[in-house]
A and B are shown apart, each in its own frame.
Chain A
């Protein structure tokens, strides 16, 4: 079974530039998550999609971050403009039905490491 695919693996940009990350979840998984992981910390949820609708984006900095999941499959996360504090690993995860509280597993990709100079 193919896992969660993310690209690019690494990205280096200068502050105020824009950047986009792509995620392809496991086939058949209805729920897709984007997490931000700053060095030395645990992952923090940015946004959760159920099919192509947003379930939770309460921690997404909406003035600069945006995400979409067209057709309920692939997703892109964009940052525009980037700040130094956005340097982090951006992780995408997917799950079958969006019910992690009921024993449902999340499957994570390897992430995109972003460095903002």
Chain B
């Protein structure tokens, strides 16, 4: 697995964009970047994934740098319910590779 580095915690005001960075400088060319989040007392929830191009879905946007060494998850209008631990994952290249979760970023959205 490519090693990922995330800040341990971030704050964001409600209604503002939350930009969560992730460094994955050892990622290889065919490895996707995944983002999951975990709200207190729940299991992790899939957010988005990408390979080379920027991606957007109903939950978030994912911006991947051209060299693929880092990415940013963007929650365009954060709400209090977005307070959670956000995990950036770059799995290894085997066919049945496992998702290895690191410590993640604790995002706290303030009123």
Interface positions of A (Cβ within 8 A of B): 4, 33, 35, 41-45, 48, 50, 55-56, 91, 93, 98-103, 105-111
Contacts and interface: CB of A to CB of B under 8 A. Distances in A.
Contact of A111 (B43, B45, B97): B43
Contacts of A55: 96
A61 B96 CA distance: 20
Contacts of A41: 103
Nearest to B104: A42
B101 A44 contact: yes
Contacts of B91: 100-101
18 contacts: A35-B101, A42-B102, A42-B104, A43-B44, A45-B98, A93-B44, A100-B91, A100-B98, A101-B92, A101-B93, A101-B94, A101-B97, A103-B32, A105-B46, A108-B42, A108-B45, A110-B41, A110-B43
A44 B36 CA distance: 14
Contacts of A102: 32
Interface residues of B, number: 27
A50 B96 contact: yes
Interface in B69-111: 85, 87, 91-104
Contacts of B34: 100
B49 interface: yes
A43 B97 CA distance: 15
Given A42-B102, A100-B91, A91 B96 contact: no
A99 B96 contact: yes
Interface of B: 31-32, 34, 36, 41-46, 49, 85, 87, 91-104
Given A99-B95, A110-B43, 13 more contacts: A35-B101, A42-B102, A44-B100, A45-B99, A50-B96, A93-B43, A93-B44, A100-B91, A101-B94, A102-B32, A108-B44, A108-B45, A111-B42
Contacts of A99: 95-96
A101 B95 contact: yes
A111 B49 CA distance: 24
B13 to A, nearest CB: 26
